[in-house]
Amino acid sequence: MSPLCMLTGASGNLGRSIRQLWPIYFPDQQLVLIDRNSATLEDRQSTADLLARIRPDIILHCAAISNPDRCDEQPETASRLHHEVTAQFAAHARRCSGWVLHCSTDFVFCGDVPGRRHEQDAAEPLNHYGCTKLAGEAAVLAEGSGLVARLALMHSPPPGGREGGWHRVQADLAAGRPVQGVVDEWRTPIAYADAAAILLTLARQRRTGLVHVGGPDVLSPHDLISRLAARMGSPSCIIPVSRDQFRSGHRRPRNVALATRRLADWLASGQLAAAS
Ligand SMILES: NC(=O)c1ccc[n+]([C@@H]2O[C@H](COP(=O)([O-])OP(=O)(O)OC[C@H]3O[C@@H](n4cnc5c(N)ncnc54)[C@H](OP(=O)(O)O)[C@@H]3O)[C@@H](O)[C@H]2O)c1
């Protein structure tokens, strides 16, 4: 019997990107979609009930409060979704010899160190979002039943995806309106569709442990928006702003560029295995 797969956060941007690619990577396997209507995941019992009802072998856990500012406003829900639910999923995966994906974040790093961060570098989150995601990482790694993917900033959400900052940027670029871009933060951005393809490849390989998932180039948000504008042929003026001008109050890491050597090795060894 083929394994049963379950996707949380199915209505989110990464969830939608995974759903679009799923038939290509897992043509013979059904994907059970979990959104807030099917389960809120907000208490231990509802998560246990969900696991008992679906009995998934593979869990792609994309549900999250993905905005760090909203995590500060709803700290308990963030801890539940990012840590406790992840721990329940990881324990379930161990018990049934299954596999779980935890979508972690480059925000586990404090951002004060120059250069790219490697998987073995110390994680010191600056905000509640990063702390809860790091706690979820520890749970999965302790169970040994899945993969922790530390995702970089994702851009270019799929059509119909969850409304957010990128939709506004895309709409402004399409209309030729000016867009502000922060010049003094550095990321290794990756498009949602590319991140989804990588995660599904790693799911097929049933990789375990910790891996960084990001794009090849270290870019500021200003660089990234300028590239997107050029690709769209947008005449928009991209206004350079400092992080302090752009937002105040909430703590975000300055430089969380990710080193992705391990990812490149894993993807290459998968291709070799497929070819042999
Ligand atoms: N976006 C990035 O740049 C980025 C970077 C690094 C890591 N990540 C991580 O990657 C994953 C996917 O991110 P994304 O950008 O696709 O996020 P997203 O678009 O905000 O989607 C989040 C999903 O979680 C669901 N959700 C939120 N609260 C819930 C709750 N209490 N119960 C059940 N479902 C709930 C949302 O449902 P509703 O639509 O009903 O609210 C939505 O489907 C997340 O784990 C995020 O932390 C994202």
Q: Walk along the chain (276 residues) in steps of 10 and give the mean pLDDT of each run.
A: 90 96 95 91 92 96 94 95 98 97 98 96 96 98 98 92 84 96 97 98 97 98 97 96 82 95 93 66
Residue in 17, 37, 66, 187 to alter for ligand 1 test, most ligand atoms within 8 A of Cβ: 66
Model pTM score: 0.96
Beta bridge partners of residue 61, listed in sequence order: 8, 102
Q: Take residue 222 and report the two structure tokens written for it.
A: 């200003």
Clarify whether residues 63 and 169 are in a common domain.
Answer: no
Ligand 1 mean position, distance from CA 36 (Å)? 11
Clarify whether residues 30 and 136 are in a common domain.
Answer: yes
The pLDDT of residue 169: 94
What whole-number distance in Å separates Cα of residue 169 and Cα of residue 124? 30
The pLDDT of residue 45: 93
Clarify whether residues 93 and 195 are in a common domain.
Answer: yes
Question: CB of 200 closer than 6 A to ligand 1?
Answer: no
Clarify whether residues 121 and 237 are in a common domain.
Answer: no
- For 157, other C-beta atoms within 10 Å of its C-beta total 22
Q: Which domain holds residue 173?
A: 165-183+219-246
Clarify whether residues 234 and 261 are in a common domain.
Answer: no
**Residue type (1 letter), 55:** R
Question: CB of 215 closer than 6 A to ligand 1?
Answer: no
Clarify whether residues 18 and 76 are in a common domain.
Answer: yes
Q: How many domains does the chain have?
A: 2
Question: CB of 36 closer than 6 A to ligand 1?
Answer: yes
CATH of the domain at 93: 3.40.50.720
The residue nearest atom 10 of ligand 1, judged by CA position, is 103
- Kindly provide the b/e burial profile for residues 82-92, where b requires at least 16 CB atoms within 10 angstroms of the residue's own CB: bbbbbbbbbbb
Clarify whether residues 107 and 178 are in a common domain.
Answer: no
Clarify whether residues 140 and 270 are in a common domain.
Answer: yes
The pLDDT of residue 250: 66
Ligand 1 atom having least distance to the Cα of 133: 47
Residues 6+ apart with CB under 8 A from 141: 148, 209, 210
- Kindly provide the b/e burial profile for residues 22-36, where b requires at least 16 CB atoms within 10 angstroms of the residue's own CB: beeebeeeebbbbee
Clarify whether residues 132 and 231 are in a common domain.
Answer: no
